Amino acid sequence: QVQLVESGGGSVQAGGSLRLSCEASGYTRSINCMGWFRQAPGKEREGVASIYAGALRTYHADSVMGRFAISQDNAKNTVYLQMDSLKPEDTAMYYCAATGVDFASSCRAPFFARPSSLNWGQGTQVTVSS
């Protein structure tokens, strides 16, 4: 079993930055794909970014491309989401998720398409004011 703990959320003004962290513990040897989702009130959950096997492959949704960057510190079993140029529409609860996959391509669309198969953190709130 894998436990995920997010941190780093908060309230910022538009144009500001935040860095989210997600620390994994437990049976982390089973994990080689980690990512971030977000969900705003009244909206569907959205896949934001994912990272495969120590940053060999990363993926960012079009809505955050060029503003957000996912990275990983393998020594700390931690994944980060650097969020710059934040917009009010980025306001949401951000969740970290993790799983083991056989191929790098599975750490993209398939990862976001099967949330029920993932390990989840408790979420961290990000609020961006205009």
One digit per residue, the tens of pLDDT, for the chain of length 130 reads 899 999 999 999 999 999 999 999 999 899 999 999 999 999 999 999 999 986 779 999 999 999 999 999 988 899 999 999 999 999 999 999 999 999 999 999 889 898 888 999 999 999 999 9
d(CA 130, CA 120): 30
Query: Six-digit token pair at 23?
Result: 């620390």
| pLDDT at site 73 | 92
| pLDDT at site 16 | 98
d(CA 11, CA 91): 9
| pLDDT at site 55 | 72
Between the CA of residue 18 and those of 47, 68, 80, 125, 127, what are the distances in Å?
18, 10, 10, 11, 10
| 112 touches 64 (CB < 8 A) | no
3 state DSSP class of 112: helix
